[in-house]
A and B are shown apart, each in its own frame.
Chain A
């Protein structure tokens, strides 16, 4: 099984900050990596797929990078609507999610 490890688990930031979340895979997953945003009581929302492709309708302040085993999600300028929990997911071999990163208000 492929394990996904996110860091940090919690991130405190202010509106306008540049935010970076890291996701590491236990083995190479090429670029088969997605990022989701989830708000309390809501279903996850797909932000990024294939490591760096922006899903339609997602603001351009979100970007993804990486390949192999190390990936990052960057929010270039944090907006009030971005305070949420973010999950990475590999889909190279079945599907595995990271444990989540909560982005909270500083």
Chain B
């Protein structure tokens, strides 16, 4: 059974760095083809893909946010970490991590999401 859970601060001040952790079970990020991605959703708005890390440590980022994002994995801990620098109130959103089984598929299992508010 695949599960994912996001964790991190609920409140961050503008210009600070946001670090979110996705802890998962039921699969391994060392398995060929497996990916984990991050997606966010501002309150009342649409979903926005942010970043993805492949089983072989290859990475992809949203072009509009690439300069502010870093995605890493710790295979031994079954965790993926997303770091966003220089946050702004427009970054207030629910942040989700999600499992992608192969490169020919898309996100099939999602975490419950964690709401992050950026405010002074």
| A63 interfacial contact with B, CB 8 Å | no
Known contacts being A44-B47, A87-B46, is A94 close to B106, with CB within 8 Å?
no
Query: Is B25's CB within 8 Å of the partner chain A?
Result: no
How many A residues face the partner with a CB closer than 8 A? Answer: 23
Candidates A34, A44, A94; contact of B110 at CB < 8 Å: A44
Asked if B62 CB lies within 8 Å of chain A CBs, one says yes
Q: A102: shortest Cβ distance to chain B, in Å? A: 11
- Tell me which of A34, A43, A45, A98 contacts B106 (CB under 8 A): A34
Residue B52 at the chain A interface, CB threshold 8 Å? yes
Q: Which residues of B contact A32 (CB under 8 A)?
A: 106
Contacts of B68 in A (CB 8 A): none
B24 at the interface (CB under 8 A from A): no
User: Residues on A close to B: CB < 8 A?
Assistant: 1, 32, 34, 36, 38, 42-46, 49-50, 55, 87, 89, 91, 94-100
Closest 9 CB pairs of A and B: A95-B49, A43-B110, A97-B47, A34-B106, A91-B106, A99-B46, A46-B108, A100-B46, A49-B106
